[in-house]
Structure 1
Amino acid sequence: MGYRHVFSDNFYRAEIDPERIGVQHYEEAIIQDIEFAAVQTGARIVIIDNLTYLCNSSEKGDVAGLFMMKLMALKKKHALTLLVISHTPKRNLSNPITQNDLAGSKKLYNFFDNVFAIGQSAQDKRIKFVKQVKVRASEYMYDSDNVIVYEITNEDGYVRFLHKGYGKESEHLRDKSEEDESQVRSYILTCHREGKSVREIADLVNRSKTSVHRIIAREKNKEDVGPVEGVPPGDVGQVGQVGQLGQSETVRVHGRSGFRDDLVFEMDDNHCF
């Protein structure tokens, strides 16, 4: 038989009525209800879990930005402390956590005074690490060289983080594989086809602009140099008469578009047409 954890009497938990999800002016109604609940209970700290569920359009920068502006106005009006939780989209666990991993538009990032992320350690599924991603008015203490390490534990029905110490983020990242690199290249090309700039893509994948440009250019070269129609593999440029290196050789090109089959080309000393 398990244990039931008893929370403080000062802890109030509110849920959204499922029947009201998606109604007209849904986000505005949520803001009003948060304000009403905070005033009625005298709460000074409000935790929102999570932003995506609360704001149906959090993936759209303009709509999510307007929603955050209303939350910020509520915070200032009642001198509240807001803790807004936002889940990250699927990400490559080989890469360090950055502001680009925030779900939805990067515009949301500008509204927060401080941002920290909880990462999954590659060492153990029970191990998590906490990293500061943005600091506006305090000291930057827990960056990639000094993340806080925790272990998820369950004691007397209370699932919590047990502090284990400190470490480097790199110690908790998964080793990069060829599959990871392939996924990054594929994502870069997808973003490029969607019309994103090299700078935007570089920010998204945490790579330099030069690296992103090189991957895009390499793919473009592959598309420009396609296979010759009607030519079996290995048939183009086969040597008809093999001579000594440095001597002229005759090469017959079969079935090449725009050329007769009986044309004979001579290669120079560098074996170029």
Structure 2
Amino acid sequence: MNYPALAAGRATIFMDHTSEKPLVVQMIQKDVRDMAAAAARKGQIVISDPDAVIELFDIYPANEWMAMETEHETPQMLFGNFWLEGELCILFADTNMGKSLLAVQLADSITRGEPIAPFTLGAEASPVLYIDFELTGKQFEQRYTDGQNRYHFASEFYRGEYNQFNRASSHYQKLDKYVIEALTRGIKRTDARVLIIDNITCLRNGTESAGAALLLMKELKKLKTRHGLSILVLAHTPKRNPRLPLSRNDLQGSKMLINFCDSAFAMGESHSMPGQRYLKQIKQRSTAETYGADNVCLAQLERHNGFLKFVFTGNDCEKNHLRDTSRQERERMNREAKRLSDEGLSQRQVAERLGMSAGNVNRMLKSHL
């Protein structure tokens, strides 16, 4: 760049009468800003000078956004319409439903580039980092060994386990910051394009509060954007009424987690077909709802050559797999709702005590008027 007063042997510094900064400094800053703006249009990140103001929002004309995004490839499916490339997705289910088994099956599918039938896998085979807070190494090994066969995963399937003897976390005021930094190092070490975390409650305490949930999702989203990741996070459901359809209200902790993820799906238990599970879409931004209440995906566990996995057997309406309520049971619940209400509990408190919706409690109590 050819700036005035920079020629060899010249010591004069030109000043702008309207500013205290030398003109040459202003010109350099302008060029830095221009380069940063040009790089931003290409989706690059440029670190500008420390005095520059970093805006909270990237603002461009809508048509310019459209033109910039045409240069980016369309996200491919990782697990049909349930989970797409570049998404922060949540899979939640009750304890012992098999969500960890499905997550490992997904990791195996993505590292091999082989789809789980009947779902589409449009992305190429890529490295996966699976952070396992649930099982020990021995438990993991036993799960994928049937006595004769030990399953062989793809070489780019990396599993991480919490090191209980690591004391470095004591130097951090917040454990979640330490975990995010450790995840970053793991991603760089493995060159992972996909991150699976089993499960979310181990990342941060207090996800039941809206503020904590928001901070957690912001950290994961920054991690996703900075490293170009697809992220799947596993979560639990609290004790729920098996007579009611699965919904976003069944995610343990704050609903803020659902609000800030890109997609979410849940696993439920079939009460009409013992041993069967079903998957249901709960939230989607980039695809249509394919597997809603009228078209859940049925699955059963099978072991093949040491590998325990779900085999998907068809589709059905969710209502056919919810627990049926007999007349005798309904009458008992009706009496219990009346008793709790007479004790002074609110309708919401009665609903929580009985594992029912507030609407159902309201209808029950009206029948006694």
- Whether TM exceeds 0.5 here: the answer is yes
Q: Structure 1, residues 223-250: CA drift from partner, whole Å, max 9, x if none?
A: xxxxxxxxxxxxxxxxxxxxxxxxxxxx
2:323 and 2:185 map into 1 onto residues whose CA distance is 45
Query: In 2, distance between residues paired with 1:77 and 1:165?
Result: 38
1:54–1:218 CA distance, 2 compared to 1 (3 A): farther
Q: Does 1:84 align with 2:230?
A: no
What does residue 304 of structure 2 align with?
Answer: 155
Q: Shift of the alpha carbon at 1:30?
A: 0.6
Secondary structure, in 3 states, of the residue corresponding to 1:14?
strand
- Aligned to 1:41, which of 185, 190, 199? 190
Structure 1 residue 50 displacement after superposition: 0.5
| Worse-matched range after superposition: 81-90 or 1-10 | 1-10
Give the drift of 1:182: 2.6
2:240 paired with 1:94? no
SS at the partner of 1:161? strand
CA displacement, residues 171-209 of structure 1 (integer Å, 9 cap, x when unaligned): 1111024557739949x96xx9589699x98xx94453x
Structure 2 residue aligned with 1:13: 159
Which residue does 1:233 correspond to in 2? none
Runs of 5+ in structure 2 lacking a partner? 1-146
User: 1:143 pairs with 280, 292, 297, which one?
Assistant: 292
Report SS of the residue matched to 1:74: helix
Give the TM-score normalised by structure 1: 0.68
Distance 2:217 2:320 in 1: 35
Instruction: Report which of the two structures shows the higher radius of gyration computed on alpha carbons.
Output: 1
The corresponding residue for 1:111 is: 260
Deviation at 1:70, TM superposition (A): 0.7
Q: Deviations over 1:50-80 (max 9, x none)?
A: 0112222222332122111111111111111
Q: Which amino acid aligns with 2:226?
A: K
Query: Structure 1 residue 128 and structure 2 residue 274: aligned?
Result: no
Q: Distance in 1 between matches of 2:320 and 2:229?
A: 37
Report the secondary structure of 2:308's partner residue. Answer: strand
Gap change, CA 1:143 and 1:15, over 3 Å in 2: same
Q: TM-score, normalised by structure 2?
A: 0.51
CA RMSD, aligned part only? 3.2
Deviations 1:53-108 (A, max 9, x none): 22222223321221111111111111110101111111111111011000101111
Letter in 1 for 2:333: S
In 1, Cα distance between equivalents of 2:185 and 2:230? 15
Work out the number of aligned pairs and report it: 212
